[in-house]
Amino acid sequence: MQIIQTKIPEVIVLEPQTFSDSRGFFLETYNERGFHDLGITERFVQDNQSHSKKGVLRGLHFQIEKAQGKLVRVLQGEIFDVAVDLRPGSKTYGNWAAARLTSTNHHMIWIPKGFAHGFCTLSETADVAYKVTDFYSPQYERTLLWNDPDVAIDWPFEGEPILSDKDRAGYTFRALRQQSVKGSRRYAR
């Protein structure tokens, strides 16, 4: 497994070794011992999968309690996957990192706890699978607004994405920062 660094040191892209021949290919998507050797020692407790059509943007999601680390990969299609650092006191607080994940490059992205996560679909459809380190807790889920001007993610599409009502009504980074400073809740624990 090769590591590809992003703009945020803790968010890494993983390139698994792929074995191809006339029948197709084989690759190992997760090996606890191998991931521990890379410094990813968290325990995964849930696997998720989504199917999206072109132009869909999902996110930027995070949980204010029971924060989730995520290991994301694409089974079919292509996405632009984004992580935003929401860890107060971090050197990269408020910054974002991204990677293009495809079913042909087989790259995965590791997003540790403390980050908002989202992606947009670049291909006609995309099937995305991800492992998480804590269970989904809807009462703690929040959304960072996908087009927040303070975060300024350079999404690779023109026009408006297809969004859920929840994602359209996300918090601004400024509002999250103010709530964190007031101490009402520590976002991204």
Active-site residues: which are they?
61, 130
- Specify the 3-state DSSP secondary structure of 116: strand
Q: Is the peptide bond before 60 cis (omega within 30 degrees of 0)?
A: yes
State the amino acid at position 23 in one-letter form: R
State the amino acid at position 155 in one-letter form: W
Q: Give the contacts of 133 (CB within 8 A, at least 6 positions apart).
A: 42, 43, 44, 45, 68, 69, 70, 113
What sign does the dihedral 21-25-26-29 (CA atoms) show?
positive
CB of 83 closer than 8 Å to CB of 12: no
State the amino acid at position 81 in one-letter form: D
The distance of Cα 14 from the centroid of its chain, to the nearest Å, equals: 13
Cβ atoms within 10 Å of 41's Cβ, excluding its own: 9
Distance of alpha carbon 144 from alpha carbon 164, whole angstroms: 13
